[in-house]
């Protein structure tokens, strides 16, 4: 067991060497950019876009679950807020998709604040129930608020995003690039977040709320902020998702969707970014492999979650990173001063 | 006489009608090491909890640098310059040691979420500064080589030190240490006491809780003795150690007085 751990960490050490990391990131980006030229049919391209959108959604929920230690079973509610806001603004009021995103962000942030408030008093099971209820309330609102949402009939013919005469469609791969862009931006955001005052405060709240308070962290503010960030990211992904689908109704945003997002986070490894990618790929591709799998997908999700909790609670890719905390060169030089450099610490195993 | 850095005046608190701290007064001057000792259950930790704003005292007043601070929220009190460690270690176990210390700098880090998201100059400059400071603090405690370990993986003694580092990182002038030597062997304890002396030499003021009187005899400028919620003695270490009431209080429980 120990050997396995060390090899994982050695692999990590290798992968994250600046040169290796740059090459791999560059290669990954190059592959992602040429995906539309790989000759995938439209069915497969739709799945690829869906994976990108779910990675984004998982990254959003990860801020809550992985960093802050709060649970949400109502992410579909936030997705719906974004999807409906954009759809109504573009379809009914003729707004540009990208302009509507501003409204979508503001609205989602407001809803995030409202849903975040109960989290100040509740955790665990109680918070699960509240957020689950929130998801269902949003669905009910969609059904009842017919003048705006067209009720159970749903909204059809959602326009594709367009900018300066270019329409982003599935056919011209515009949708793919947009969803890729959003995913990468959110990923970059999360990466910076973890290594900032805000990210550390969120993780401190997860680690020990009392100690966090004693460090001067305003726990209230950061819990609500976590909900706001998760809400805004989900809503942005929701906006994009609605234009990909072209049709939405209350059944687009069911509890199933919230479950999938949570399953991705847990399966992949909460608190990690890489986990969201692998989790989404597995859980979105898996049901597409065969019809029968689609029918039983919730049984499979349930099983996966139970097995993960039992055998690998940290998630598939949720190992504890052994990389040194990144410190800029100028700081290192200032610390070591005129003396010689300190040697590499920790147990290095040479193969 | 100089105005004390911390001046606690007659604080009392009771839980469910049972008095835990009764009319306790205590003051500390700048750069002193003062110890608060007493048997288990005497109310020492409760005094810390009142000081740091976790509990509101039923009565009494607390002044820090001349400003009244009882009634203030914990976050405010940290910003004013009082920080603490915990009797039962409360590190952020899943964060690296250096991250724990960086969390300590929270209230004195001023860049916004916007700054960090767009990696503005302000963010980079301040973050570099805090990392530098965090490592300097870890050096004080001899933990600089363990900065990248997860706090939860550290041996017990190092965890206690990491908590002290985190408390210092808040920028506090007054550091409250709740039984920092608990669970340490005599050698580790000596090492820790040297460390505390060194911290004092850097200009910090220290209020130290300990239930083993021997531990604090050499290090304390003054000692307060708490028993059953009440102060029973205060003064210089030798005087306190020879005080009949103190000896009696300790005889009631375990005898920890030297020799
Ligand atoms: N939140 C609380 N609720 C009820 N009783 C408490 C609380 N906090 C402390 N006490 C009581 O106050 C007394 C003093 O406790 P404490 O301050 O932890 O003692 P010490 O730190 O000196 O060992 C104990 O009897 C304890 O049970
Ligand atoms: Mg105590």
Structure tokens at B217: 């005899």
Distance of CA A62 to the CA centre of its chain: 6
User: Which residues have a Cβ under 8 Å from the Cβ of A286 and sit 6 or more positions away?
Assistant: A293, A297, A300
- Gyration radius from chain B CA atoms: 19
What's the total number of domains in chain A? 1
A2, pLDDT greater than 60: no
Q: A125-134, A173-182, B42-51, B156-165: lowest mean pLDDT where? A: A125-134
* DSSP per-residue string spanning B49-83: HHHTTSS--SEEEEEETTEE-TTS-HHHHHHHTEE
Give the residue on B whose Cα is nearest the Cα of A210: B90
Distance from the Cα of B240 to chain A's closest Cα (Å) equals 32
Write out the residue limits of the CATH 3.40.50.300 domain(s) in chain B.
Answer: 1-81+173-259
A112, pLDDT greater than 90: yes
- Ligand 2 centroid to Cα of residue B20, in Å, is 12
A342, pLDDT greater than 50: no
- Which atom of ligand 1 is the closest one to the Cα of B18? 5
Mean pLDDT computed over every residue of chain B: 93
Q: A213-217, A343-347, B86-90, B205-209: lowest mean pLDDT where? A: A343-347
Q: Which of A65, A192, A195, A207 is the mutation pick for testing B, counting most B CBs within 10 A?
A: A207
> Contact B165/B133 with Cβ under 8 angstroms?
no
User: Which residues have a Cβ under 8 Å from the Cβ of A36 and sit 6 or more positions away?
Assistant: A45, A173, A176, A177
Contact B106 A217 (CB under 8 A): yes
> Contact B220/B35 with Cβ under 8 angstroms?
yes
CATH number of the domain where residue A280 is located: 1.10.3470
Q: What is the pLDDT of residue B1?
A: 53
User: Does A193 contact B at CB distance below 8 Å?
Assistant: yes
Q: Which residues pair with B209 in a beta bridge?
A: B36, B178
* Better-predicted residue by pLDDT, A4 or B224: B224
> Contact B192/B107 with Cβ under 8 angstroms?
no
Distance of CA B7 to the CA centre of its chain: 16
CA atoms of A313 and A328, how far apart (whole Å): 33
Interface size between A and B, measured as CB pairs under 8 A:
111
CA atoms of A257 and A78, how far apart (whole Å): 11
Taking only the tens place, the pLDDT of each residue in A234-247 is: 999 999 999 999 99
**A172 part of a folded domain:** yes
Nearest to B148 among A214, A325, A330 (CB): A325
Q: What is the pLDDT of residue A5?
A: 57
Taking only the tens place, the pLDDT of each residue in B15-49 is: 999 999 999 999 999 999 999 999 999 999 999 99
> Contact A79/A182 with Cβ under 8 angstroms?
no
Q: Torsion angle, CA of B72/B75/B80/B81, rounded to 10 degrees?
A: 120
Q: Which band of pLDDT confidence, cut at 50, 70 and 90, is reported for residue A287?
A: confident
- Cβ neighbourhood burial of A282 (10 Å; 0-12, 13-18, 19+): middle
Bridge pairing between strands B82-84 and B67-68: unpaired
Write the CA distances from B120 to A276, B40, B103, B115, B133, integer angstroms: 27, 51, 20, 5, 20
Nearest to B119 among A192, A324, A342 (CB): A192
* Better-predicted residue by pLDDT, B6 or A132: B6
Write the CA distances from A193 to A190, A273, A294, B230, integer angstroms: 5, 12, 36, 48
Q: Which residues of A touch B103 (CB under 8 A)?
A: 200-201, 204, 212, 215, 217
CA atoms of B178 and B152, how far apart (whole Å): 19
Nearest to A218 among B75, B94, B119 (CB): B75
Give the residue on A whose Cα is nearest the Cα of B148: A324
Nearest to A214 among B84, B116, B147 (CB): B84
Q: What is the pLDDT of residue A318?
A: 77
What ranges make up the beta strands (E) of B179-228? 205-210, 222-227
Q: Sheet holding B67-68: strands in order across? A: B18-28, B6-15, B59-64, B67-68
Structure tokens at B162: 């990491």
A343, pLDDT greater than 80: no
Taking only the tens place, the pLDDT of each residue in A42-68 is: 889 999 999 999 999 999 999 999 999
Q: Which of A215, A220, A333, A348 is the mutation pick for testing B, counting most B CBs within 10 A?
A: A215
Q: What angle do CA B14, B20, B24 make, to 5 degrees?
A: 100
Nearest-ligand number for the alpha carbon of B43: 1
Distance from the Cα of B32 to chain A's closest Cα (Å) equals 22
Give, for all 259 residues of chain B, the pLDDT tens digit: 567 999 999 999 999 999 999 999 999 999 999 999 999 999 999 999 999 999 999 999 999 999 999 999 999 999 999 999 999 999 999 999 999 999 999 999 999 999 999 999 999 999 999 999 999 999 999 999 999 999 999 999 999 999 999 999 999 999 999 999 988 889 999 999 999 999 999 999 999 999 888 889 999 999 999 999 999 999 999 999 888 888 888 766 554 444 3
Tell me the average pLDDT across A180-199: 96
The protein residue whose alpha carbon is closest to atom 9 in ligand 1 is B46
User: Does B128 contact A at CB distance below 8 Å?
Assistant: yes
> Contact A200/B95 with Cβ under 8 angstroms?
yes
Q: Sheet holding B82-84: strands in order across? A: B82-84, B174-178, B205-210, B33-37, B222-227, B230-235
User: Which residues have a Cβ under 8 Å from the Cβ of A271 and sit 6 or more positions away?
Assistant: A62, A66, A67, A203, A318, B94
Q: Which of A196, A271, A272, A323 is the mutation pick for testing B, counting most B CBs within 10 A?
A: A196
Contact A198 B92 (CB under 8 A): no
- Ligand 1 centroid to Cα of residue B42, in Å, is 8
* DSSP per-residue string spanning B164-181: HHHHHHTT-SEEEEESTT
Q: A248-262, A312-326, B21-35, B216-230: lowest mean pLDDT where? A: A312-326
Give the residue on A whose Cα is nearest the Cα of B87: A211
* Better-predicted residue by pLDDT, B82 or A316: B82
User: Which residues have a Cβ under 8 Å from the Cβ of B160 and sit 6 or more positions away?
Assistant: B85, B89, B180, B181, B182, B183, B184, B192
Tell me the average pLDDT across A89-106: 94
Q: In which residue are the tokens 């391209």 written?
A: A45
What is the value of ipTM here, to two decimals? 0.92
- Selected from 3.40.50.300, 3.40.190.10, 3.30.1330.10, 3.40.50.150, the CATH number assigned to the domain covering B1-81+173-259 reads 3.40.50.300
> Contact B250/B257 with Cβ under 8 angstroms?
yes
CA atoms of B116 and B101, how far apart (whole Å): 19
Q: What is the pLDDT of residue A339?
A: 54
Structural domain span for residue A60: 44-319
Q: A43-47, A266-270, A308-312, B156-160: lowest mean pLDDT where? A: A308-312
Nearest-ligand number for the alpha carbon of B85: 2
Write the CA distances from B216 to B37, B159, B180, B210, B257, integer angstroms: 9, 20, 11, 7, 10
Q: Which residues of B touch A345 (CB under 8 A)?
A: 145-146, 148
Q: Which residues of A touch B113 (CB under 8 A)?
A: 196, 198, 225
Q: What is the pLDDT of residue A95?
A: 93
Q: What is the pLDDT of residue A344?
A: 46
Q: Which band of pLDDT confidence, cut at 50, 70 and 90, is reported for residue A13?
A: confident
Residues with CB under 6 A from ligand 1: B 15, 20, 38, 40-46
The protein residue whose alpha carbon is closest to atom 11 in ligand 1 is B20
Report the greatest alpha carbon distance in chain B: 65
- Cβ neighbourhood burial of A234 (10 Å; 0-12, 13-18, 19+): buried
Q: In which residue are the tokens 């859980």 written?
A: A283
Structure tokens at B173: 């002038």
Nearest to A192 among B109, B117, B147 (CB): B117
**A154 part of a folded domain:** yes
Q: What angle do CA A87, A88, A94 make, to 5 degrees?
A: 95
Q: What is the pLDDT of residue B32?
A: 96
Q: Which band of pLDDT confidence, cut at 50, 70 and 90, is reported for residue A189?
A: very high
């Amino acid at each position: 067991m120990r050997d396995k751990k060390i090899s994982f960490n050695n692999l990590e050490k290798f992968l994250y060497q600046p040169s290796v990391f740059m090459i791999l990131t560059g290669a990954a980006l190059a592959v992602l950019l040429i995906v539309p030229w790989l000759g995938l049919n439209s069915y497969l391209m739709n799945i690829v876009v869906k994976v990108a959108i779910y990675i984004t959604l998982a990254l959003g929920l990860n801020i809550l679950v992985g960093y802050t230690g709060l649970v949400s079973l109502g992410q579909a509610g936030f997705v719906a807020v974004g999807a409906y806001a954009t759809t109504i603004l573009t379809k009914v009021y003729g707004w540009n998709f990208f302009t509507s995103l501003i409204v979508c962000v503001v609205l989602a942030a407001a809803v995030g604040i409202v849903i975040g408030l109960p989290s100040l008093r509740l955790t665990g099971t109680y918070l699960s129930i509240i957020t689950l209820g929130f998801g269902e309330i949003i669905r009910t609102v969609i059904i009842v608020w017919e003048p705006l949402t067209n009720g159970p009939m749903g909204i059809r013919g959602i326009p594709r995003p367009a900018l300066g005469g270019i329409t982003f469609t599935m056919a011209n791969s515009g949708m793919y690039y947009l969803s890729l862009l959003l995913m990468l931006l959110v990923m970059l955001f999360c990466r910076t977040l973890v290594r900032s005052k805000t990210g550390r405060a969120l993780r401190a709240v997860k680690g020990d709320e009392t100690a966090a308070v004693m460090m001067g962290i305003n726990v209230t503010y950061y819990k609500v902020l976590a909900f706001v960030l998760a809400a805004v990211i989900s809503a942005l992904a929701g906006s994009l998702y609605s234009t990909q689908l072209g049709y939405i109704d209350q059944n687009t945003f069911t509890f199933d969707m919230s479950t999938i997002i949570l399953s991705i986070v847990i399966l992949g490894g909460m608190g990690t970014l890489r986990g969201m990618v692998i989790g989404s790929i597995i859980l979105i591709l898996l049901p597409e492999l065969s019809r029968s799998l689609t029918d039983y997908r919730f049984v499979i999700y349930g099983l996966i979650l139970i097995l993960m909790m039992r055998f690998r609670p940290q998630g598939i890719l949720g190992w504890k990173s052994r990389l040194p905390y990144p410190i800029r060169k100028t700081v290192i030089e200032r610390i070591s001063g005129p003396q010689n450099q300190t040697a590499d610490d920790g147990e290095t195993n040479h193969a | 006489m100089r105005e004390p850095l911390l001046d606690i005046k007659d604080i009392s608190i009771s839980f469910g009608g049972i008095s835990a701290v009764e009319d306790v007064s205590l003051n500390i001057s700048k750069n002193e090491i003062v110890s608060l000792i007493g048997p288990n259950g005497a109310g020492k930790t409760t005094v810390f909890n009142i000081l740091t704003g976790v509990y509101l005292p039923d009565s009494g007043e607390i002044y820090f640098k001349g400003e009244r601070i009882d009634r203030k929220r914990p976050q405010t009190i940290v910003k004013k310059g009082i920080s603490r460690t915990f009797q039962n270690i409360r590190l952020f176990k899943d964060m690296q040691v250096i991250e724990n210390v960086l969390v300590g700098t929270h209230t004195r880090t001023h860049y916004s979420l916007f700054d960090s998201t767009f990696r503005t100059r302000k963010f980079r400059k301040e973050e570099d500064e805090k990392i530098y400071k965090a490592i300097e603090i870890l050096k004080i405690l001899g933990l600089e080589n363990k900065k990248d370990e997860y706090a939860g993986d550290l041996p017990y003694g190092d965890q206690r030190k990491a908590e002290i580092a985190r408390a210092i990182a808040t920028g506090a002038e007054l550091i409250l240490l709740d039984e920092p030597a608990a669970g340490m062997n005599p050698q580790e304890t000596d090492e820790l006491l040297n460390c505390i002396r060194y911290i004092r030499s850097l200009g910090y003021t220290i209020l130290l809780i300990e239930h083993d009187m021997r531990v604090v005899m050499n290090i304390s400028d003054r000692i307060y003795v708490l028993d059953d919620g009440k102060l029973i003695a205060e003064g210089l270490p030798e005087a306190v150690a020879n005080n009949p009431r103190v000896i009696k209080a300790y005889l009631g429980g375990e005898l920890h007085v030297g020799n």
